[in-house]
Structure 1
Amino acid sequence: MKLTYETALEFLELSIEYLKFTKVVLERPDYAIGQVRSLLFIDETIFFETQKNTLQSKNKIEMIVKDRLTSDEYTVFKKKLILAEKSFITNDNHNYYMERMYRGYIRLATVAIGQLLCSEGLLQNTDDIYYMYIDEIKMVLKDRTFDKTVINDRKEQYMKQKKLLAPEMIGQLLPEYDMSNNIHSDCSDSSKVEAVKGVSGLKKRVRGKVYVGMPEVLEEDSILVLPHSHCGDILPLLSKVKGLIFNWGSPYDHPGIIAREMNIPAIYKTNNAMDILKTGDEIELDGYTGVVTVLKRLD
């Protein structure tokens, strides 16, 4: 059904009412549908191989620990390990879920209305809807008019305020970067093709071969591409990991902190890295811009 001004307004008002009476966990149908759609296209070979290798890695580490403990010590360790695993399942995905609290229907409504107003020429860009108040959105749906200069003024104000916040990317500066214009000296290299882009956790640039999924072992230094930053225990692999790329996650979750402390650049929230990058591809991970470029595709 095509969205009209009248149905858009009704959708918005119903979404606001729904928001008053439901809990956050029930307000994310767009997230649930999006996850189901992404699972329909996932490479099941990579998924099950990653699952198997993660379990093998865990069992291997557990056996190493067992060899170093007495029988009584291992019994206590095993009980604590089971408790820790249960705790992780119930609690430790907080960043993963917090980043997806889209407030369900209210977000769906504003996104759809932004597209409608943009197609009608009332907004310059779909995302301009995020610079409007709810009452203003209702007004423009009723009156079919809106002063675009208001959006521009708010955007300008937002950019000024954003400069007062801490930078999204943190880490040490590298001498090979010209920070006078924040562009690397070889950025004009036309042989590089931008593949994906996300949020960087460390200002560092590396090049290397891609490995998609969680391997049991890494035979050579590689850049891992994973669904999210809680995919599995990457600690045994870190000596061979040059970089990390995640579909989801955050530089501020636990694996993000570990990667930064180990001086390993990581890119988060790419959304589609696992679909675009393939094992064996040679890429450049640029922690300054959050951009991943393909240097050479695996034939």
Structure 2
Amino acid sequence: MAEKKGFPMPLEVEYPKELQGWEEMYPPTYLFSKERQEWEEKHFWFHDKIHAPEAMYPLDLIFQEAWQISLSQYTTRVFCIPPAQGIAQRMVGCYMYITPVAPPPPEIIGEKAGLFQKRVFYVFDHYDELWGMWLKKFRALGEEMEAIKVPEDFPKFESDDTVFPEPRGYYTSFEVMEAWDKLVNLMIKGWQFHFQYLNLAYLAYLLFTDTCRKLFPGASESTIGKLVAGAYVQMFRPEEELCRLARLAAAVPEIAKLLKSDLPAEKKLETLRKTAEGNDWLVEFEKSKDPWFYVSCGSGWFHYEGSWTTKLEIPFGYLKSYVERVERGEKIERDLPAIDKERAQLAEEYRKLIKTDEDRKAFDDTYKAVRTIYKYAEDHLFWVEHWFHTIWFDKVREFGRLLVKRGILKDVNDIYLFNRFEVPNLMEDMATTWALGEGVPSGAKYWQAKAEKRKKILEAAKKWNPIPAIGTPPEEIAEPFTIMLWGITTDKVNEWLKGSAVAPADVTELKGFASSAGIIEGKVRVVKLLEEITKVEQGDILVCPTTNPAWAPIFTKIKASITDIGGLTSHAAIVCREYGIPSVTGTGIATTVLKTGDTVKVDGNTGIVKILKRA
């Protein structure tokens, strides 16, 4: 038997010459090193295409830095999930790779077990009240971030009110540096809150699926997923607000006509302000806008994605489509009652199959837990990755504008070319130059040269196709979160090892996770870039690397979805179950093999996609 080709070890990875110097962009702890070589080579590292599919701008890494600590500590030190440890991160040529840390020694697992029982099931039993407390403190955190004052410029001289009746003792130089430090600290703290219940939501799903597999050996993954569907979650609220606004507009012919037009969003707003009916609609629009338009146009992880508040063409594009559909008599809202009714009937049918009181209690307990806490997986998503991150990006832009105004950087977004440990150096240089007086040069040429160099490296990284994994893969991928969220399985790793031996045109069938039940045939729409989402038409089957929460408005348009990345608890899996449409996630190659216009059969019950006809 031929020896299977392996992946390179961490220090053996070869990089294009155009990437030379990439290492300096990231904190040193993010680099593979000889000092940690023995430990690093014991682990299997894979490219995190869920959270970091693209080349990483240094400042955008802050979210990854924050979740590495937060996710891991809740597993290892807070809720103490017995065999589990954290998820470690490393950068490889501007791309982020992760690995589940190997389990701890048996004695530590034993210590954790007692704490796990006491702490985790308390949260399951009290989740509804705990969620209210979480939301209150998290919104307060976001409001605190929004209230940070970033000076528009440094004054020629400090004003009299900073001197009389008593000199204040600190001035603009300190305020700028303090404001930046506070902004960073609040972001790190926000991500501490992010994972407060997320691991437990995934754990509840895992416990429930394990119970179902034991009690109902023939139950498919998609059926188990359907048992969990039908939840009211706040990540869908932005879309619900668009539906509400569309129906209000459709009731007033003049407003409906305007929203259906091809005028730019700003022109539509300007026209609406000229009439009483238009102003009435704008009152409702503003009610929806804060907080529900604080939605990223992408995943929320990258500064260049923008949000509905900064790219109004996105929500107005959805409104145009919704108004047209309302006028055609179509239903634009998610049919939650029907999904919930189907879920309840299915649960009752399965419950009737249980023969013993003990098994019935196991089913009831795990089902109650997952139905209670699992909605956190989508609820937190709106408040953290979207609302909170939108505030962060707005504030960072304020600092970027200040750095440009003082001549330190050339472009507002150049601030993202420096990591969170480097940006304070820019702030201090700016403050010091101002404090020293007139005619004193800053280090602007140094910073600008570094920014230009990094832009070129990142552009080169975007053209590079990084390897899917590093290190020695285990005989079997068994770590449950790796499978459930990232969709990394033993079969997937074996496909990576085979490489691209099969030409895309020769592929007739794709396999992935049966993430949402149902069978449908239709033509696919391949969406690789954010701006392509507007091309999705009624009845399309969406094919994409992974879905973004901001795409929720198109889920009432599409018949099914197929993704490259993600497991049973990925966003695509959850959202398709909530909209009652078939989904196959984690195929690995859908966007490579399929072309817009191809006809396929999506089987969300088995996780198989058959290619019926090429475009």
* TM-score, normalised relative to structure 2: 0.25
Structure 1 or 2: larger strand share? Answer: 1
Structure 1 or 2: larger helix share? Answer: 2
Between structure 1 and structure 2, the one with the greater Rg is 2
* TM-score, normalised relative to structure 1: 0.46
